Each structure stands twice: as structure tokens, then as C-alpha cells.
Chain A
């Protein structure tokens, strides 16, 4: 069973189907955030529906771009034999 699911996900023929499932999941998550009760909200952004989705996406993009910038421009990334 596990093998079948994993093979389905890994097979490049199913990429289109997986993409569709992914988009549906994103839309469902985004929309469901509008319908939940927000009694635990402390800060202003906790009250904005869809904030999590927005913040998650922005975080991801920022982390990738800033890290790669630091890595390449900041001299953090070195050749593998750097310490040899």
C-alpha cells in the first residue's frame, strides 16, 4: 500500500494530477481560514483571514532568497576541499 502511494507520487506521469491535488488543498486551506472562529487572536494579524497562507509564502520566499544571497555573496559557501 505504502509502496503504491509512494510510487504514484514519484512517477512523473502523475505530476499533473498531483499538481491539481496540491492546488485544491491550497484553495481549501485558504478558504477555510475565513470560516473559523478567532477567539484566541491576540494581535491584529491573527484576525486577518488568510494571514497564515500569506505569511507562510512570504517566509518561504524570503528564507530562500536571503539565505542564498548570504551564501553566495557573503562568502559562506566554500568549495568542498576548503578545509583540506
Chain B
């Protein structure tokens, strides 16, 4: 009897079948596997499953506890929503890579040892990269290469850290690492926070997500960073450094979002901002803040998925992605606008929406842990969140100056997927109990107190007032923002220039010296040695033989002079020798 089914296996096997199916059959298959995955998570019991002995190490593919289960829940739910959203896509390659990507994130979630975690971690990186390449545009291809290079760097750091850790401790079990500041600790941390998009290792996210396919970016917004948050909660709870990094992240994303003109890049900066709350929560490390991080990751996957689906719908229908080129779409896309706004309210933590019951737990966690500055700065960032995703983006996309674009609502499957996410955003906000019940620690937090509701509404509505007062200042500008990807985008050019110009000149100079002095000298001296050897030694032997035989033959020729007398001498002397020999032998 099968006691436990790894949901990743469902997705990996499912992905193998996709290329052989077409049309309706493929669509049914695309939805079947995520539903089976949800059922497998639903039927899970806690414990350790699928342990394999490999090279004297115990690999454990199924470590099920409350923390892994809550992430598995949201990953499998999001896989359903994402697949409904991508149902109209005819490109099997995208579906396969989305399946493998989900398999990777679920594999990391259940990994009980660092090696299997690493394998699934890399599966995620490579599978997700295809979702960028699949757009088949030059900019996307370039962004895809940068994406994969950065993730390879992160993967190498992670693997290096894992190997050093396993050598030092003789253990590869996934669990909180000792906060000893060892090299292994920091290598693993760098590998993980790269995927969590912590500045300055974040630029891959805002570089790649806007370049992905409309449906691919929805998956990407959900899985990579949140899997990293899971690993942070699992491995690095209470790491003080993360408090500061998380707070900086929360503000960093907000600042860049003000400057951004590309709608999905704006949302990508808000992923950084929101993941900042989770990272800070992990750093604070109390039960409440860790619960906050986990629940915020849960809510974030749904509302950020919804926001990316909304922006993706607009891109899908209009072919435009810059706020300066959009506007006035409310007339023809009211349902998309409404569903997007539900995501916007959820991310902004409006009461009755999911962000309100999750984000406030992190902020309260900071406040209860006597970190007033962190609590204040995180609250400031949440004002910024509403400012951008709840006001700026929808205002310039759907209202504002009419761009003259007249289009329709997106296909029905896209609307249904957005509806599912929107339903959950409101459901969690109204009834947080079931989500709180899933969290790893007992929840002692009541979001709906009078002062909490009024202060949250005060922050948000007066942010709205500020927005409309400074509307002119916020008008999107047709620019792009330089970020830390500058270093490897421009840096690679500097490298190429260095390789092409100074390095080539230097190399040519060296080659010349080599050719002039070294090669020529060697060739000359070897020529001379060859000549000497040839003439004195080889020729000596050959010529010696030749001379000997020539001499011999000329002597022989002299004997054949044709004179009878000569021949008679020869015969006589030979007869004398033969008789002499005979006498000598027998008579003597």
C-alpha cells in the first residue's frame, strides 16, 4: 500500500505525458495533476517518508510537518489556479516547464536532507528559465540567460555551503543551522537569499519576471521567492541579519516602484517589498513573527498571482506593458479591473482582505519583540504598497489619460483563474481561522480589533489622499531604472571591451615576442641540430654503407676484366686452396 504520495512525482510524471496530448485531452490532463496534488496534500499525515540510502547518506524526500504542509497547500492550490490561467496556451513546452517548476518547489518543501533539497532547487531554476525563453523575443532571451547565470551562481553557493556543512557536521538533515557564523552558514545563506531576492542579490527578479510569458510570470511570481522563504524559516529562524535585510527590502521595492513604468516590473518590485516582510519576520524569529512570515507567504502567493494575472491579462489583450502607453481600459475591461483591485486591496492589507490578517502579524511580531524602528518602517512600506499596486498601477492602467485602446476582457479561463485567487484573497481576509490553524505555531493573534482596523484604514485612506494630491508628481515617465543588474549587464560589456581591446593588444604583443625570439630561435637551432644529425650521423651511416659497397663492387668489377689469363689464375689458385685444404685435413 502506498502510505504517502510525493506531489512532485505527480507533476514530474504528469509533465512526461503532456507532449503526447493535444487539445481538450491535454487541457483535462493539465488540470487533473494539480487537483491530485491538492488531494495528496489533503490526505497527508505528518512523519518521514521515502528515505533512501545513497552513498552512505540518508536522503529523505518526504519530511512532513506543519511547516512543510502549509507551504505544500499553497503551492498546490496556486498550481491549480495557474494552470487554469494558462489553459488556453498551446505551447506544450511551457506547460511541461511549469509542471517541473512546481515539482521543484514542492520537492524543496518536503526535502528532509540538503542534497535532495539542492536537486529540486536547481530543477526550479532551470524549469522556470524556460518560461522566460518561451516568449521568444530577443529581450526575453537575454534576460533568460542572465536569470540562469545568476541562479547558477546562487546554486553553486548553496551546494558549496551544503558540502562544507555536511563535512563539518557529518549530517545533511535540513534543520536550523547553528548560528556560528561559519563559512558554510554564510554560503548557504547567500544561496537562499539570492532566491529570496534580497538586495543586492535581487535584480534577477525584476529583470526576468517582466520578460516572461504572460502565464509563465504568474508561476514565477508564486514559487521561487516563497520557496526561499520556506527554507529561511526552516534553516535560519532568528538570524539577526535578516531583520535588517528584510526591512531594507520592504523599502527598496517601494522606492523603485515609484520610478517604474513597466507594469509587471512594478509588481516585481513589490514582490521584493513583500518578501521583505517575510525575511524580517524570519529574522525576528519569535513564534508570532514566524507565523506571520509563513501566513504572509501563503497570502502573498495568492494575491501576487492575482495581480500578475491582472497585469498579464492587460498585456495579453493590448500587447502593451508600459503605463505611459496604457490608460482608460476601465470601459472595456471592468471585470479584470475589479479582480485586480481585489488583489490590490489584499496586498495593501485592507481589512477583510488577506494581507490584513497576515502582514499585520509580522509588524506586530516586530513591535512585540521591541523593535519599534522596524515596525514603523514596515508600516511605512505598507503605505507604499497601497500607493503603487492599489493606486498608481490601476489608475494609470485603467483610468487616467485615455490611451484610445479598446479591447475585450481576456479569455474565460483567465477570468476564472483570477476569480479563484480573488475568492481566496477575500476568504482568508474574512475568515483567517483555517489559515491560522495551518500555521506551524499556535496563533495568539487577533487581527480584527477596533484600533487595528481604524489605524490600518487611516494609513491606507490617507495614503490615498497623498496620492491624489501628488498625482502630477507620480505620472509615469518613459524610463527604465538602473539596478544592481547594472553591474553584470554593463559589467559584462566592460569585460568584453577589456577582452577585446587591452587584453588582445597585450596578447598580440606577447605572441609577437614569442614568434620573434622564442619560436624563431627554437626553429633555427632545431634546424641546425637536424642538419648536423642528418649529415654527420644518418648520412654517415648511409654513405658509409654505400661507399663500402661501391668500393667492393668496383674491386669485383676489376676481377671481371675479361682476360682468360686472369680467370686461369683464379681457377688455379682456387684448385691449390682446395687441394691444400684437403691434404691439411686428412693427411696431417
Contacts and interface: CB of A to CB of B under 8 A. Distances in A.
Interface of A: 2-3, 6-7, 9-10, 22, 25-26, 29-30, 32-33, 36-43, 46, 50-57, 59-68, 70-71, 75-80, 82-83
B380 A59 contact: yes
Nearest to A19: B468
Contacts of B330: 6-7, 9-10
Interface in B523-580: none
Given A2-B334, A6-B334, A10-B331, A64 B451 contact: no
Given A63-B258, A79-B479, 8 more contacts: A7-B334, A33-B451, A36-B450, A55-B379, A64-B387, A64-B473, A77-B482, A82-B480
B424 interface: no
B176 interface: no
| B contact residues, range | 35 or more
Given A2-B334, A6-B334, A76-B481, A43 B372 contact: yes
A4 to B, nearest CB: 9
Contacts of B459: 52-53, 55-56, 59
B430 interface: no
A62 B387 CA distance: 12
Nearest to B251: A63
Nearest to A79: B479
B259 A67 contact: yes
A40 B328 CA distance: 43
B458 interface: yes
Contacts of A60: 383-384, 387, 462-463, 465-467, 470
Contacts of A25: 461
B466 A64 contact: yes
A68 B259 contact: yes
A71 B259 contact: yes
Contacts of B470: 60-61, 64-65
Contact of A22 (B259, B376, B464, B473): B464
In the A-B complex, list the 8 residue pairs whose CB atoms are closest, starting with the nearest.
A52-B458, A60-B466, A52-B455, A56-B459, A36-B450, A67-B258, A53-B458, A59-B383
Contacts of A56: 383, 458-463, 466
Contact of B456 (A46, A52, A70): A52
B481 A3 contact: no
Contacts of A3: 334-335
A59 B454 contact: no
Nearest to B449: A40
A29 B259 contact: no
A38 B383 CA distance: 22
A70 to B, nearest CB: 6
A75 B463 contact: no
Contacts of A63: 254-255, 258, 380, 383-384, 387
16 contacts: A3-B334, A26-B462, A33-B455, A33-B458, A36-B450, A37-B450, A51-B458, A55-B458, A55-B459, A56-B462, A59-B380, A60-B462, A60-B465, A64-B466, A77-B259, A77-B481
Nearest to B388: A63
A51 B455 contact: yes
Interface in B476-491: 477-483, 489-490
Given A52-B456, A63-B258, A63-B384, A71 B481 contact: yes
B398 interface: yes
Contacts of B335: 2-3
B461 A64 contact: no
A40 B358 CA distance: 17
Given A36-B454, A56-B460, A64 B474 contact: yes
A29 B450 CA distance: 11
B457 A80 contact: no
